[in-house]
Amino acid sequence: MRNKFFFLLILVFLCCAKMFSQTENEEKDFPSLSETESENAEENKIRQPFSWTSAGDALKYEIEISRLDEKTGLYADCYFHETTEEETELCQIYIEPLLPPGHYRSRIRVFNILGMEETELTSTDEFTVRRAFKPEVRGVSYPLYMRSVIYLDDLDNDGIIEVSGRNLFTCDGTRESLTFTDYALKGERKTILPEKVISHDDERNREIRLQFDMKKLDVGLYHLFAQDASGVHSEENGASEFTVKFKKWMDLDIEVGYVFPLVLHDDTFPSYFERTLPLSAQARISFMPFKRRWGYLGLGVRASYSRFSTEQATYTIDGNLGTAHLLFVYQLPLFRRRVIAEVHGGAGLSYFHNMSFHFAHGIDSLAFNSVSLSFDAGLSAQIYINKRLYAELGVDYVLTMNKDMVLGMLLPSVGIGWQF
């Protein structure tokens, strides 16, 4: 019995010793803390690649990096590395441990296949390591409306957009700061950069106001994009959305006014109606469904009426002239949409009605009535008195093709209109 007890005791001791030995060996196989951090850094792609241009057939490179002391203005050595065969071929290394943010200078020494340094191939360069702060955009609004939308047809637009979130640093055009943020409105067709920073929350970096050029904004859905100095950028989501559009998807303009026909060629009218101020009027409707930053496109209908009458020594002549044209219209807003410049042209009809001579004793000539093909091309300017009411100045050239004459007329006009 005693021999069995000692045998069991020895067996237990040997088993414990083996387990202890296995545990000790396993603990030795575990990576150190620095190795674990390195693996995590690789998984998260927190790495600092350093590359250079190949010098040709080289045995190896020696990389020396020194950091600038901002107080003294002097560089102090902080990193040295001799490349392996693979690194020499790739001309790239990964710096470990990571260099902290700052300004650095590098020197790369080249050694030929005999192991001798090629001093004339030594290169130096300066670079900057910047701190990564991922920007977060939590809200974008246009203060004029307190919404994430801007209307291009509003007379009061100033292009100032307010952005809220986190890590929203101010801009730096010089790129010398270690911490800054770039901003842009990114759309499907274009990216628009801000003109300047209006205000910035310097203490918390959670708000910034940017001003965009209204002439560069075009209709569409955009995302406010923020990217920090290290290249980390914000996400595109609902909070970063911003819309550029018109308050109305189309414009409907109605205008009435006075028109004064002036004959440019064909002497039929001037021969009988010289120094005549006709009784005239015009009306126009324009439908503008296609609106963009560069202008509006649409269709219009223009009609005019003039009553001619003149007395001569032996006779009186009178008659009516009417025109009606379907027009293609292009409008360009100017001066923050306070003036609209317009070009239009199209085809239609000119109508001569009851053109006749009246002599003494009640004798009248046969009336001239004719409908003729005509073409219209013109310019006009709409000057807005307020957001809807406008005055219009314009001039049109109308060419009428009649079998008895080819009549060319200049039709200056003035009118007043309303935009619905």
| pLDDT for 35 beyond 70 | no
Domain ranges of the chain: 48-129, 136-245, 251-419
Pairing of strands 207-211, 220-228: unpaired
User: Would you state the pLDDT for residue 277?
Assistant: 63
DSSP-derived letter for residue 202 is T
What average pLDDT does the segment 210-232 reach? 90
Candidate from 149-158, 190-199, 238-247 with smallest mean pLDDT: 149-158
Average pLDDT rounded to a whole number, residues 299-318 = 83
Which of the residue ranges 88-92, 132-136, 402-406 has the most confident prediction, judged by mean pLDDT? 88-92
**Mean pLDDT value across residues 268-296:** 81
Quick: pLDDT tens for 340-379.
999 999 999 998 887 777 777 777 777 778 888 999 999 9
Contact 68, 75 (CB under 8 A): yes
Give residue 45's pLDDT band: very low, low, confident or very high (50, 70, 90): low
The band of 65, judged by pLDDT with boundaries at 50, 70 and 90, is: very high
Q: What is the CATH number of domain 251-419?
A: 2.40.160.20
Using CA atoms, how far apart are residues 189 and 282, in angstroms rounded to an integer?
Answer: 42
Among 85-94, 184-193, 237-246, 260-269, the range scoring the smallest mean pLDDT is 260-269
Query: For the chain, how many helices (H) and strands (E)?
Result: 4, 25
Question: DSSP class of residue 367?
Answer: P
Same fold, 136-245 and 251-419: no
Tokens 């009605």 sit at which residue?
353
Is 280 strand, coil or helix?
strand
Q: How confident is the model over 22-36, as a mean pLDDT?
A: 31
- Work out the pLDDT band at 308, boundaries 50, 70, 90: confident
With b for 16 or more beta-carbon neighbours within 10 A and e for fewer, the 125-153 pattern comes to: eeeebbeebebbbeebbbebeeebbbbbb
Other CB atoms within 10 Å distance of the CB of residue 404: 11
pLDDT at 173 over 90: no
Which of the four pLDDT bands, split at 50, 70 and 90, describes residue 244?
very high
Cβ(136)–Cβ(167) below 8 Å: yes
* Nearest-5° Cα angle at 151, 149 to 152: 135
Highest mean pLDDT among 35-39, 203-207, 351-355, 379-383: 379-383
Query: Measuring CA to CA, how many Å separate 56 from each of 53, 86, 94, 181, 391?
Result: 9, 14, 21, 39, 75
The pLDDT, as a whole number, for residue 118 is 94
Percent of the chain predicted with pLDDT > 90: 52
Mean pLDDT of 377-404: 92
Which residues does 57 contact at the CB level (< 8 Å), separation at least 6?
112, 113
Q: Please check the confidence at residue 307 and state whether its pLDDT lies above 70.
A: yes
* Beta-carbon count within 10 A of 178 CB: 15
Task: Give the CATH architecture of domain 48-129.
Answer: Sandwich (2.60)
Q: Which residue has the higher pLDDT, 299 or 40?
A: 299
Q: Which CATH architecture has domain 136-245?
A: Sandwich (2.60)
In the structure, what pLDDT confidence band is assigned to residue 150 with cuts at 50, 70 and 90?
Answer: very high
Residue 47's pLDDT is what? 74
Collapsing DSSP to helix, strand or coil, 338 comes out as: coil
State the pLDDT at residue 43.
Answer: 39
At 82 the pLDDT is 95
Instruction: Look up residue 137 and give its two tokens.
Output: 């955009």
Residue 409 — very low, low, confident or very high, per pLDDT cuts 50/70/90?
confident
Backbone phi and psi for residue 321, each to the nearest 5 degrees, phi listed first = -130, 125
Lowest mean pLDDT among 77-81, 156-160, 221-225, 412-416: 156-160
In single-letter form, the type of residue at position 289 comes to P
pLDDT at 376: 96
Q: Which amino acid is at 62?
A: E
The position carrying tokens 């470990």 is: 96
User: For residue 174, is pLDDT > 60?
Assistant: yes
**Residue 239 pLDDT level (bands cut at 50, 70, 90):** very high
pLDDT tens across 94-111, in order? 998 888 888 999 999 999
Both tokens assigned to 58? 């080289």
